[in-house]
A and B are shown apart, each in its own frame.
Chain A
């Protein structure tokens, strides 16, 4: 599991698989890859057309740059990667596979330092994790998945529904609480979010919980007053323990484009961010902005969300991500695995 408290060996597929249940073990890597595969489809089919076997000239490099831009890498990292490629290979005849391998390597070298799981300090009881992000990027769902993962590890988890703004957000978290067997602390609708967080913290301490996950309301980083409310939650938690929250995770939607930069920047300015969780990587979005973010901020990427099910939160594997992004994995076999296993543990509808 990616969230084990002593950091696991570099999150490689084979190391993580045995800890999973037998049915899921064949499936999850395939699911991640398949999720990413969808992401990389456009990029890789484009690559095939560009580099079937031809001379790597300026025009070809420009096309390559376009492809990277379409994967949401952003103009600057795209230009840099292409420049690296041009420096070594210009005017040589290259194959599709070669170009992909080189690209994957450069992408992975940018991403690798960021592939770090969240470390839960067992001496903190409870270890308080604050979940933040803009609206609609999957915070509440991610809290549910995290709760499930840590429960599986035998930690005792308490959830705090500090999203008092959005209609029925509390009910949504309560449903996740029931699903994962974690109690949820709630407050009155439109009440004070900080008060809910504070009460939850006190309760978690009294009950000797290992982990407190605080779900906050989604807020656009441009809304100053909402950002101040977030700061207040942090301040109030510090009254109990000056070190709290022990981790603040920024949830980021993979479909987000270059605005992700502004989001990370603003949230980071307000509160120290311990890591990112990237959601919705099972869609058609390429998540290429991650490369740009890794390049610029170097924040740990704690986990990636690849589906709506309780167990659809995965460790971030830089190499696998990079290789899948350029379409280097052969997925014919894993796709079959996917078809068999993926639907099986899909969420029961409520």
Chain B
């Protein structure tokens, strides 16, 4: 198991708490951010193993966050979590490794994480 935490980014406090709890239950270390700008701050301090990213957020949204990542030439594994109707297209467009269409099942979430973080 990796020491690096998973970064969860979502502006909805409940989703943030629930997803964190689910990952914690499986033994993944978790850090959280409520928008893209906060997430960039966290990145600088604690490089994550994976980012779970909401798209529609205030201050800096998912697209802005991905743009900033490309500018910094960071290579990050990203899972997009979105309630948009065309979730898969958005995920492809911004270069995410996986897409979770809200509302997703717990198994889908953990499945995507385990696929991207081989133990």
Chains A and B are bound partners: no
Binding site for A on B (CB under 8 A): none
